[in-house]
Amino acid sequence: MAKNSLDSPASEREADAAEDPRDRFDRAVAPLRRELHAHCYRMLGSVYDADDALQEALLRAWTAFDRFEGRSSVRTWLYTVVTRTSLDAAKARGRRALPIDLGPAAEEPAIDAALTTEIEWLTPYPDPSDAAGRSEHVELAFVAALQRLSGNERAALLLVDVLGFTASDAAATMGTSATSMHSALARARRSVRKPAESDRPASAQPSDLALARRFADALAASDLEGFVALITPDVTWQMPPMTQWYAGSEAVAAFAQAVPMTLCPSWRTRVFTANGQAAVAFYVGERSDGPHQAWSVTLLDVENDAITGITSFLDAALFARLALPSSID
């Protein structure tokens, strides 16, 4: 990580004293902005909430910048501001959810399922363009599990087990006692297993992306046999903001045949990555030779070259946030 002037010895910081304070602040924040945003996302489960929380946190940090005395590194100080801002946001906005959190799996394909907008849904997270950013813990299943914890439990687990803060630094960052922090951390560890470094490549592997291409092609071609060959017996499929979800290859295949393979006239697809996972952008059109509009962003959980989980976000507004076009020919 690049060295910040605020992490330098006092003599170097004094040499920077003549620099414009806003320039010093922006220069200190710039190399940390990406990881701070990812921390907000893990805390809040929404890329939109992460945008808002980081903006609010940096405003708070700038307001207090003239009082920063360098007793800790600028990174630790900024994480303190960002974590407390995210805790405030979590209290105000509630927890983000996925359909699987809300009730049992559906037994039959829901042909005309309504979209439920009253629930605050989890959202996908765009993969960064730089290799360093891809090492962050933003896997969808991990972030979804974090949302089932209280705010303090979430913060404790992320600060200590993901970011490597000491217990005392984590307690100070959260603005709580060491006893409370240890209690929250213990509860969080019982509920959530942090992804192991050895299990977590930098991003989706070429084999995962090839599998995603076969998945997209099977749905677009209404190839049910080919689709079934890609999924595991215990696969799940959920589609926020629909509350219905499906469990097991038989139920998932029945839904695939009844809805996307039958009711949608024409598909166009793009394979990409989000949350460090293979993903497919689906576009639907009235006919094959006409324009196709943004329909869903689908993330795939992959194990041993087979699909164990499918999460389709039926929200065309996500395409712009994920740097995807809103329509294609």
What's 193's domain CATH number?
1.20.140.160
Residues 117 and 257 in one domain: yes
Residues 277 and 137 in one domain: yes
Residues 206 and 71 in one domain: no
User: What string of pLDDT tens digits covers the 329 residues of the chain?
Assistant: 444 544 555 554 555 556 788 898 999 999 999 999 999 999 999 999 999 999 999 999 999 988 876 677 889 999 999 999 999 999 998 889 999 999 999 989 988 888 888 999 999 999 875 544 454 689 999 999 999 999 999 999 999 999 999 999 999 999 999 999 999 999 999 999 766 554 555 578 999 999 999 999 999 999 999 999 999 999 999 999 999 999 999 999 999 999 999 999 999 999 999 999 999 999 999 999 999 999 999 999 999 999 999 999 999 999 999 999 999 98
Q: Is 252 helix (H, G, I), strand (E, B) or coil?
A: helix
Sequence-distant (6+) residues with CB within 8 A of 197 are none
311 within some domain: yes
Sequence-distant (6+) residues with CB within 8 A of 145 are 191, 192
Residues 193 and 219 in one domain: no
14 within some domain: no
CA distance 301 to 232: 11
Residues 293 and 193 in one domain: no
Question: 89: which DSSP letter?
Answer: H
Of 199, 230, 258, which residue sits at a domain end?
Answer: 199
Range of the domain at 329: 101-148+202-329
3 within some domain: no
pLDDT attached to residue 2: 45
Residues 64 and 189 in one domain: yes
pLDDT attached to residue 8: 52
Contact 140, 41 (CB under 8 A): no
Between the alpha carbon of residue 269 and those of residues 60, 99, 192, 278, the distances in Å are 42, 24, 34, 13
CA distance 31 to 34: 7
Of 139, 172, 199, which residue sits at a domain end?
Answer: 199
CA distance 136 to 128: 10
Residues 158 and 290 in one domain: no
CB-facing half-sphere around the CA of 220: CA atoms within 13 A: 21
CA distance 253 to 245: 12
Residues 167 and 240 in one domain: no
In this structure, which amino acid lies at residue 247?
Answer: A
Q: Residue 247: which CATH number?
A: 3.10.450.50
Contact 312, 296 (CB under 8 A): yes
Contact 7, 71 (CB under 8 A): no
Is 110 buried (19+), middle (13-18) or exposed (0-12) by CB count in 10 A?
A: middle
pLDDT attached to residue 197: 52
pLDDT attached to residue 5: 47
Between the alpha carbon of residue 13 and those of residues 5, 30, 68, 134, 304, the distances in Å are 6, 17, 12, 31, 51
Residues 185 and 315 in one domain: no
Question: 126: which DSSP letter?
Answer: B
CA distance 241 to 301: 19
CA distance 46 to 139: 13
CA distance 148 to 192: 9
